[in-house]
Amino acid sequence: ELNSSSSTRGVKEIRIFEDSAPAVVYVETVTGHGTGVLVSNDGLIFTNSHVVDNAKKVYIYFMPKYAGKYSQDDYMTGMVVNNNKTADLALIKLTKNPVGVKPLSLAESSTIKIGQDVHAIGHPGGNAKWTYTRGYIGQILRNHEWGYDDGITRKAQMVIQSQTPIMGGNSGGPLLDDNGKVIGV
């Protein structure tokens, strides 16, 4: 019995990463970088507003097919079409639709529960691209306000507090449920 459970341990996490990571992008601007997620077949990408800052044009890198073959020449151009600094969300539209990349679906907010497992994929520290972490939801905050050191008061209808290891560079990346649906950014 011990052997059967240990041989299946991590199968869910591997599936979530393999199915979801191709839609997770590296977002680069003149002033910084972060993560984003492709959410439509017509090239729409969600990220955080603080990732794109005031940029109008950004560079988008999809996960390379071969590990270690990532190149700065392999980018697509995107235009920031919506930048809501108050909600800290931005929407990028690719100037050319990606080929062969399946966008991730958005989960219904009613499916998000305290205690459920969550998964994150992002680019922490700038060098660890397409890194997977997992955790759980600790709290759901409704009509929440917060701020950074920039003087802008942020507001959102729902903020998910999770115990998921993330750091600089993960900003804008998807928080996923066990079905690989996006529950948060």
Report the candidate in 43, 25, 41 with the shortest Cα–Cα distance to residue 96.
Answer: 43
What is residue 67's DSSP assignment? T
3-state SS, the chain, equals CHHHHHHHCCHHHHHHHHHHHHHEEEEECCCCEEEEEECCCCCEEEECHHHHCCCCEEEEEECCCCCCCCCCCCCEEEEEEEEECCCCEEEEEECCCCCCCCCCCECCHHHCCCCCEEEEEECCCCCCCCEEEEEEEEEEEEEEEEECCCCCEEEEEEEEEECCCCCCCCCCCCEECCCCCEEEC
Q: List active site positions.
A: 50, 88, 171
Determine the distance from the C-alpha atom of residue 161 to the mean position of all C-alpha atoms in its chain, rounded to a whole number. Answer: 15
